[in-house]
């Protein structure tokens, strides 16, 4: 579940991937070693909560939210349910 904090631009959280993997060195992750769980197109509105479900089961210890553009990613809360 994702919730956008209303004091920041909702446009910042747009067109992103959610990936799951088992290796993380504490500062960076290898995108190739993480499995794509979902690709989210577009952006959310102010204070909108979005639930994103994967098409297939994905296992791993770490969750990465990645945008392909070099820009700030503003996200207030991110919850994972298994």
Domain-by-domain residue ranges, the chain?
Answer: 2-78
Q: Tokens representing 4? A: 């956008």
The model carries a pTM of 0.75
Q: How do strand 14-21 and strand 35-43 relate by DSSP bridges?
A: antiparallel
| Sheet-wide strand order for 49-50 | 49-50, 2-3, 77-78
Q: Nearest 10 degrees: CA dihedral of 27, 31, 36, 37?
A: 0
Which segments in the chain show pLDDT lower than 70? 1-11, 44-47
pLDDT at 9: 62
Report pLDDT for 31.
Answer: 78
């Amino acid at each position: 579940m994702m919730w956008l904090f209303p004091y920041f631009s909702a446009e910042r959280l747009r067109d992103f991937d959610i990936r799951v993997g088992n290796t993380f060195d504490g500062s960076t992750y290898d995108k190739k070693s993480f499995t794509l769980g979902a690709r989210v197109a577009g952006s959310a509105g102010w204070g909108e909560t979005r639930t994103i479900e994967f098409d297939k089961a994905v296992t791993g210890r770490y969750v990465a939210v990645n945008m392909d553009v070099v820009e700030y990613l503003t996200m207030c809360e991110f919850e994972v349910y298994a």
